[in-house]
Amino acid sequence: MIISPPVAIDAACVAIQISRDDLAAGWAGLKSIRNLDGFIVTAPHKAGAGQLCDALDREGSYSGIANTVRRERDGSFTGTLLDGRGFVAGMKSAGHEVRGRRVYMAGSGGAGTALAFALADSGVQSLTIHNRTASRAEALIKQIQATFSECEVRLGTRNATGHDIVINATALGLKPDDGFSFEPETADPAALFAEVIMKPEYTPLLLAARARGHQVHSGVHMLDGQLEMMMGFFGLSRPAA
């Protein structure tokens, strides 16, 4: 089951479409369904889900955001945020190690927050965070520094020079005319470009980067990377292919 905003979902799942204003009422309805063991939450409901959960595990508690929720035996809902861990797992499965790398990331919303904590936890050498509203990036940087004091975290600009990996963790790229969250032409020639957007698989940013000779990593790997984690969180095993 997926809780999503009221838009069409192209997936093999049972989708429940709830508007942002109706999330609290919808949540109460979900709690009343006694044979509902858990569900997955999509944007823009992840922050709201984190607030409505009765408890959050380690990943969820870092940010107060949840994208996967399970019912406990006492009927309470526990949430976790697996986007960040899924992103790192997806990078590794594609042969891209993050440990010891210099990472630039644009975006400090739900996805950016999840990625920032997971990247710091995975031992990146440094993490530069840029956001259109600088105060949001600064707040996230303080959170990361308080939890991972050994990780070098700094505020960035639209210039991505001096990094091994550059990541778009914003929603820019869902539409062809969105523009870019940073200046891709400033990235080092050997930099890997990565996305969190899953559809289209190759966003305008990745297409532009590939045309300039960069390696690219699409957002679909973030979902693939967390499927096993989601199943484990629900106490299930993934069916054999």
Cα–Cα distance between 125 and 118 in angstroms, integer? 13
Residue type at 184 in one-letter notation = P
User: Is 31 in the active site?
Assistant: no
Residue 130 — left, alpha, or beta (φ > 0 → left; ψ -120 to 50 → alpha)? beta
Q: Contact at 8 Å (CB) between 54 and 139?
A: no
Among the listed residues 46, 92, 142, 199, the single catalytic one is: 46
Token pair recorded at residue 4: 């999503």
151 to each of 85, 108, 181, how far by Cα in Å?
Answer: 17, 17, 24
Q: Rounded to the nearest 5 degrees, what angle is found at the Cα of 230, between the Cα atoms of 109 and 225?
A: 70
At residue 225, φ and ψ (nearest 5 deg) are -70, -20
Which positions are catalytic? 46
